[in-house]
Structure 1
Amino acid sequence: MTTDLALLTTAAGQWDAAAMKFESVQKDYESQVKAIASDGTWTGQANLVAAPNMRQTHEQYTAAAKEARAIASLLRDAHGQFTDLRGKLKSVVAEAEKDHMRIGDDGRATWTKRDDPAVLHDPDAPAAIAKAEDSWNRRIADAVRAFDDADQGVKLALTSAVQNTDILNGGLNGFNARAEGDIEKVEAREAAELATKLNSTGHLDAKDMAEMQRLFRDNGHDKAFSQTFLNSVGPDGTIQLTNKLTGLAYSDDKSHKQAYDAIQAGLAGTVSTATADTNSSFYDKWHEKLRQAGGKNFGSKTDPLYGYQSFVNLMGYSDHYGKQFLNDLGNDIIATEKKQPGMWTQWRRHPGLDQSDPLDHLLGVMSKNPDAATSFLDPGDSGKNDHLKYLLKDREWPKIATAGPGALVTMDEPTSKLGLGQAIEAAATGHAPLPDGALPNPEARHDQAQARVMHDTVELVDPGSSSAAPANLRRPLANALAEYSTDTHEILSAKTDYQDETGVWSDDGKIKMSVGRDKLLRAMRGLAEDPLAYATLHHAESRHISHELGGLTADAKLHEESNVLDKAGAVLGSYGAIREDVINDERSSAYTSADWKAKVAYHILGGAVTPMTIGPQKFPIGDALQRGVDTWAWAWSNDMKSHADTEANAKIADHYMDADRQMRLMIKGWAADQHISEGDHDGKNIIEDMTGKVMTGSVRGNVQAKNVFK
Structure 2
Amino acid sequence: MTTDLGLLTKAAEKWDQAAKDFESVQTVYDSQVRNIATDGSWTGVSSMSAYAASKLTYEQYAGAVKEARAIASLLRDAQAQFTELRGKLKHEVAQAVEAGMKVSDDGTARFDFEKASKALADAARHDPDLHTTESHWTQSIGNLVQAFDDADQGVKLALTAATKSSDVLNGGVHGFNAKAEGDIEKVEGRRQAELARLTHWDDKQLAEMQRLERDNKNSAEFSRTFLAELGADGTIDFANRLRGLTGGEKRQEYEQLQNGLATNISAATRDVNSPFYEKWREGLRNAGTKNYGSETDPYYGYQSFVSLMEHHDRYGKQFLHDLGNDIIDTEKKHKDIWTQWRRHPGIASDPLDHLLGIMGKDPATATSFLDPGADGKNDHLKYLLKDRNWPKIALNGPGALLSQDDPAARIGLGAALEAAATGEVPGTKHALGGHTEAEARVMHDTLRTLNEGGKGDKLPANLRAPLGNMLTDYTSDTHEILSRTNENYKKLGGEGGVWKDGNSVRMAVHKDDLVRIMRSVAEDPTAYASMYNAERQYAADTLARVPFNGNADDRAAVIEAASSAYGFYDGVSSDVVFDKRDKAIQWARDVSHAVTGSSGAALNFVPAQIGGEDTPKGIKVGLDIANRITDFAMYEWTKEQISEASRAAGEQNRAQFNHGQRQVDSLIVEWGAKNDHQATDGLVRHLVGSGQERHDSARNEAFITLDREK
The verdict on a shared fold, with TM-score over 0.5 as the criterion, is: yes
User: Cα gap change, 1:521/1:243 in structure 2, threshold over 3 Å: closer, same or farther?
Assistant: same
1:304 corresponds to 2:304: no
User: Cα gap change, 1:208/1:457 in structure 2, threshold over 3 Å: closer, same or farther?
Assistant: same
User: Cα gap change, 1:559/1:615 in structure 2, threshold over 3 Å: closer, same or farther?
Assistant: closer
Counterpart pick for 1:482 among 472, 486, 493: 472
1:421 corresponds to: 414
Whole-angstrom distance in 1 between the partners of 2:143 and 2:634: 46
2:128 corresponds to: 126
1:259 corresponds to: 253
User: Cα gap change, 1:91/1:339 in structure 2, threshold over 3 Å: closer, same or farther?
Assistant: same
1:538 corresponds to: 532
Whole-angstrom distance in 1 between the partners of 2:254 and 2:351: 21
User: Cα gap change, 1:264/1:700 in structure 2, threshold over 3 Å: closer, same or farther?
Assistant: same
Deviates more, 1:110-119 or 1:182-191: 110-119
Whole-angstrom distance in 2 between the partners of 1:117 and 1:599: 53
1:286-435 to structure 2, matched below 5 A, reads: 286-353=280-347, 355-403=348-396, 409-435=402-428
Counterpart pick for 2:588 among 565, 583, 597: 597
Deviation at 1:71, TM superposition (A): 0.5
User: Cα gap change, 1:611/1:573 in structure 2, threshold over 3 Å: closer, same or farther?
Assistant: closer
Q: In the TM superposition, what whole-angstrom CA distance separates every residue of 1:365-411 from its partner, at most 9, and x where no partner exists?
A: 1112222211211112232222212211221111112229x985422
Counterpart pick for 2:600 among 588, 606, 609: 609
Deviation at 1:359, TM superposition (A): 0.7
Letter in 1 for 2:507: M
User: Cα gap change, 1:41/1:331 in structure 2, threshold over 3 Å: closer, same or farther?
Assistant: closer
Whole-angstrom distance in 2 between the partners of 1:422 and 1:268: 21
Whole-angstrom distance in 1 between the partners of 2:632 and 2:278: 62
Partners of 1:345 and 1:400 within 8 A in 2: yes
Deviation at 1:169, TM superposition (A): 3.3
1:512 corresponds to: 506
Q: In the TM superposition, what whole-angstrom CA distance separates every residue of 1:529-586 from its partner, at most 9, and x where no partner exists?
A: 0001101111122222232233123432111111111111111121111111112214
Deviation at 1:696, TM superposition (A): 4.1
1:178 corresponds to 2:179: yes
Letter in 1 for 2:688: T
Whole-angstrom distance in 2 between the partners of 1:629 and 1:121: 45
Letter in 2 for 1:632: I
1:266-285 to structure 2, matched below 5 A, reads: 266-285=260-279
Letter in 1 for 2:661: D
Aligned-partner SS, 1:255:
coil
Partners of 1:487 and 1:513 within 8 A in 2: yes
Whole-angstrom distance in 1 between the partners of 2:563 and 2:635: 24
Whole-angstrom distance in 1 between the partners of 2:629 and 2:206: 59
Provide TM-score, normalisation by structure 2.
Answer: 0.88
Partners of 2:102 and 2:112 within 8 A in 1: yes
Provide TM-score, normalisation by structure 1.
Answer: 0.88
Letter in 1 for 2:208: E
Whole-angstrom distance in 2 between the partners of 1:318 and 1:624: 45
Whole-angstrom distance in 2 between the partners of 1:487 and 1:450: 13
Aligned-partner SS, 1:524:
helix
1:706 corresponds to 2:695: no
Partners of 2:541 and 2:626 within 8 A in 1: no
Deviation at 1:677, TM superposition (A): 4.8
Letter in 2 for 1:175: F
1:72 corresponds to: 72
User: Cα gap change, 1:529/1:87 in structure 2, threshold over 3 Å: closer, same or farther?
Assistant: same
Q: In the TM superposition, what whole-angstrom CA distance separates every residue of 1:335-378 from its partner, at most 9, and x where no partner exists?
A: 1111121111111111221x300010110011122222112111
Whole-angstrom distance in 1 between the partners of 2:625 and 2:125: 40
Deviation at 1:40, TM superposition (A): 4.5
2:61 corresponds to: 61
Aligned-partner SS, 1:626:
helix
1:196 corresponds to: 197
Structure 1: runs of 5+ lacking an equivalent: none
User: Cα gap change, 1:116/1:460 in structure 2, threshold over 3 Å: closer, same or farther?
Assistant: farther
User: Cα gap change, 1:149/1:657 in structure 2, threshold over 3 Å: closer, same or farther?
Assistant: farther
Deviation at 1:102, TM superposition (A): 4.2
Whole-angstrom distance in 1 between the partners of 2:356 and 2:548: 49
Aligned-partner SS, 1:693:
coil
Whole-angstrom distance in 2 between the partners of 1:156 and 1:526: 61
1:492-507 to structure 2, matched below 5 A, reads: 492-497=482-487, 498-502=489-493, 503-507=497-501
Counterpart pick for 1:558 among 552, 558, 561: 552
Counterpart pick for 2:627 among 608, 625, 630: 630
User: Cα gap change, 1:625/1:70 in structure 2, threshold over 3 Å: closer, same or farther?
Assistant: farther
Partners of 1:628 and 1:665 within 8 A in 2: no
User: Cα gap change, 1:388/1:180 in structure 2, threshold over 3 Å: closer, same or farther?
Assistant: same
Aligned-partner SS, 1:284:
helix
Partners of 1:577 and 1:706 within 8 A in 2: yes
1:472 corresponds to: 462
Letter in 1 for 2:384: L
Letter in 2 for 1:475: A
2:615 corresponds to: none
Deviation at 1:516, TM superposition (A): 0.5
Deviation at 1:631, TM superposition (A): 0.9
1:448 corresponds to 2:437: yes
1:209 corresponds to 2:203: no
Partners of 2:534 and 2:603 within 8 A in 1: no
User: Cα gap change, 1:289/1:615 in structure 2, threshold over 3 Å: closer, same or farther?
Assistant: farther
Partners of 1:184 and 1:224 within 8 A in 2: yes
Whole-angstrom distance in 2 between the partners of 1:631 and 1:111: 50
Deviates more, 1:285-294 or 1:526-535: 285-294
Counterpart pick for 1:578 among 572, 594, 598: 572
Partners of 2:151 and 2:215 within 8 A in 1: yes
2:144 corresponds to: 143
Deviation at 1:230, TM superposition (A): 1.7
Partners of 1:357 and 1:398 within 8 A in 2: yes
Whole-angstrom distance in 2 between the partners of 1:525 and 1:602: 19
Partners of 2:259 and 2:312 within 8 A in 1: yes
Partners of 2:601 and 2:627 within 8 A in 1: no
User: Cα gap change, 1:473/1:624 in structure 2, threshold over 3 Å: closer, same or farther?
Assistant: farther
CA RMSD, Structure 1 to Structure 2 (Å): 3.3
Deviation at 1:658, TM superposition (A): 2.6
Partners of 2:190 and 2:225 within 8 A in 1: yes
Letter in 2 for 1:299: G
Deviation at 1:181, TM superposition (A): 0.2
Partners of 2:602 and 2:627 within 8 A in 1: no
Aligned-partner SS, 2:171:
coil
Whole-angstrom distance in 2 between the partners of 1:156 and 1:616: 57
Partners of 1:345 and 1:399 within 8 A in 2: yes
Whole-angstrom distance in 2 between the partners of 1:708 and 1:542: 23
Partners of 2:543 and 2:622 within 8 A in 1: no
Partners of 1:628 and 1:668 within 8 A in 2: no
Whole-angstrom distance in 2 between the partners of 1:524 and 1:156: 62
Q: In the TM superposition, what whole-angstrom CA distance separates every residue of 1:409-457 from its partner, at most 9, and x where no partner exists?
A: 422222110000000001111122124xx3x533x21111111110011
Deviates more, 1:220-229 or 1:43-52: 43-52
Deviation at 1:686, TM superposition (A): 3.8
Deviates more, 1:449-458 or 1:91-100: 91-100
Partners of 1:573 and 1:701 within 8 A in 2: yes
